[in-house]
With several copies, the nearest count.
Chain A
Amino acid sequence: MKIVMAIIKPFKLEEVRDALTAIGVHGLTVTEVKGYGRQKGHTEIYRGAEYAVSFLPKLKIEVAVPADLAGKVVDTIADTARTGQIGDGKIFVYSIEKAVRIRTGETDGDAL
């Protein structure tokens, strides 16, 4: 099994969720994060003094999927989260060795 972890722009969440549902992914976990990258933030002025806002609000999505579905999930997220503007975010994939559904105790494939 894999976890696909994606950093996306916040307003893309609904679209990504819908697209994932459409390809059969019915669960995911979202975290509010701050991102720092090429998209350089901006300078603000507060009471006459400038300051740099370098961390921008992003959302992190984590989706656990069977290994064979991972590629499709990556592509789906990449396609729907893309605006073409700097700061669109990243997708990372890594392996997990075990998955458990707490409610039932089911494991691995059945747990997702």
Chain B
Amino acid sequence: MTFKRYAGVGAGALALSLVLALPALAQTAAPEAATEAPAAAAEFASAKDTAFIFNTLLFLMGGFLVMWMAAGFAMLEAGLVRTKNVSMQCLKNVALYSIAGIMYLLVGYNLMYTNVDGGFFGSFGVYGWPASGTANEGDYAVASDWFFQMVFVATAASIVSGTLAERIKLWPFLLFTVILTGFMYPITGSWKWGQGWLDAMGFSDFAGSTIVHSVGGWAALAGALVLGARRGKYGPDGAVHPLPGSSMPLATLGTFILWLGWFGFNGASQLAMGTNSDVSDISRIFANTNLAACGGVVAAILLTQVIYKKVDITMALNGALAGLVSITAEPLTPGPVTAIIIGAIGGVIVVFAVPMLDKLKIDDVVGAIPVHLLAGIWGTLAVPLTNGETSFGTQIIGILAYGVFTFGVSLVVWFILKATMGIRVSAEEEALGLDKAEIGVEAYPEFSGSGMRS
């Protein structure tokens, strides 16, 4: 009986007395922990405990689904950059997820959620939780909440990496990630989700069309402007030279991973699953989230067929994601047909915004700005269409606040990085590819390709 694995450890408290190293870092169980056991032995389940478990389980499931989105971004971006930059893109995604986790523990969480009180940011300090073996107060386990919030900040950082691919140096990118995940995202996140000033005003963003996606998009846009376009993307005469992505199946896989993860992203943002009403709402969110993505795909397919006479698979994939971003600000109140329409408008935005950005010579390698920034704005604006507790005015104030702060601060940070360590590889390194030039490991070393297109 595996259940007995833990016979020696018991259901009671772990009286931790750290014998050797690191004693300050380990945690001691509060003695009250032992009082939890009797409750479980009662004939009937305690309503509070049952709800506590369901709520925590929601965070854990939502958390691992959103964690999985890190793989989705990695695959999507690996598929949409050219072969010579694929290893680098994979590395950046693994690294940024890791940095986000650490920074959000060391700085971010408290900055976002502790003592915001209607203000502009919280406290500084490493986050932590009660020691093992103890029961938690409140409606869910503290660490599950941290885990769930942490994976969101990683999402914002992933968005930046896609736009700036194929020309940014590794280290300045990682430094920006430190700042974004440790400071910028938590500060603006506190405004709404930490009960800061925008929450007090009534701004509404259920799962983060603005707070997560647009924030990533604004940071990416600032980076794209400071960094400049990839060499060869724009001709002197305004011509746009496409640089097709290396692998459509990886891009497709990445999109499906993100789609799957989004059920955690939106569904678990209900933040409670312990009542009929809550789990019914989560169900609505699942259905609406899926339908918005379907709407985005179908809109992108129909529109590219009509405009270009050929369906563009990358637009269809972007359309799915734009549909998902669009419904993220309010996945609960729309009816299912409305959800399809909200998502479809996201898909339309992508189809028009991608070439528009090219006209402006803003080189966004994977389409992150249309998908996350523009569809994020649309989704946030659409909230009052179905949620009567919100107003267009407040939504616009929120959108502007997030935009001004994130775009502004990002611009400054990118400029400082550019001025100090430099952010862009040399022309030669760019031609050679970042895989060889920066990290010395090719993505497909036996693929002899000079990168010449057929």
Contacts and interface: CB of A to CB of B under 8 A. Distances in A.
- Please say whether the chains A and B touch (CB closer than 8 A): yes
Interface in A30-62: 30, 32, 34, 44-51, 53, 55-59
Nearest to A52: B241
A55 B452 CA distance: 9
Interface string A1-15: 000000000110100
B454 A47 contact: no
A44 B440 contact: yes
A58 to B, nearest CB: 7
Nearest to B241: A51
A48 B308 contact: yes
Interface string B378-395: 000000000000000000
A48 B351 CA distance: 8
B312 A46 contact: yes
Contact of A45 (B241, B310, B451, B454): B310
Contacts of B312: 45-48
A10 B452 CA distance: 8
Contact of B452 (A46, A50, A56, A59): A59
Contacts of A34: 448, 452, 454
A44 B433 CA distance: 14
Nearest to B312: A47
Contacts of B367: 47
Given A32-B449, A45-B310, A46-B314, A57 B454 contact: yes
A56 B454 CA distance: 6
Contacts of A47: 242, 312, 314-315, 354-355, 358, 367
B454 A48 contact: no
Interface string B431-454: 100001000110000001111111
B335 interface: no
B355 A49 contact: yes
B240 interface: yes
B244 interface: yes
Given A32-B448, A32-B449, A57-B448, A49 B454 contact: no
B448 A46 contact: no
Interface residues of B, number: 25
A45 B453 contact: no
Nearest to A51: B242
A55 B441 contact: no
A54 B383 CA distance: 48
Given A32-B448, A51-B241, A46 B441 contact: yes
Interface in B230-255: 240-242, 244
A29 to B, nearest CB: 13
Interface residues of A, number: 20
Contacts of B308: 45, 48
A58 B310 contact: no
A73 B441 CA distance: 34
Contacts of A59: 450, 452
A47 B365 CA distance: 11
A49 B240 contact: yes
Contact of B454 (A13, A46, A50, A53): A53
A32 B450 contact: yes
A47 B441 CA distance: 9
Contacts of B448: 32, 34, 57
Given A11-B431, A51-B242, A46 B453 contact: no
A48 B244 CA distance: 12
B452 A13 contact: yes
Contact of A58 (B240, B241, B314, B450): B450
A55 B154 CA distance: 39
B452 A49 contact: no
Given A55-B453, A57-B448, A49 B440 contact: no
Contacts of A58: 450
Nearest to A13: B452
Nearest to B80: A47
Contacts of B452: 10, 13, 30, 32, 34, 55, 59
B450 A57 contact: yes
Residue from the set A49, A51, A56, A57 with the largest chain B CB neighbour count within 10 Å: A49
Report, nearest first, the 5 A-B pairs whose CB atoms are least far apart: A48-B355, A10-B450, A46-B242, A49-B240, A57-B450
Given A46-B244, A46-B441, 8 more contacts: A13-B452, A34-B448, A44-B436, A46-B312, A47-B242, A47-B367, A57-B449, A57-B454
29 contacts: A10-B450, A30-B452, A32-B448, A32-B450, A34-B448, A34-B452, A44-B436, A44-B440, A45-B308, A45-B310, A45-B312, A45-B440, A46-B440, A47-B314, A47-B354, A47-B355, A48-B308, A48-B351, A48-B358, A49-B240, A49-B242, A53-B454, A55-B453, A56-B454, A57-B448, A57-B449, A57-B450, A58-B450, A59-B450
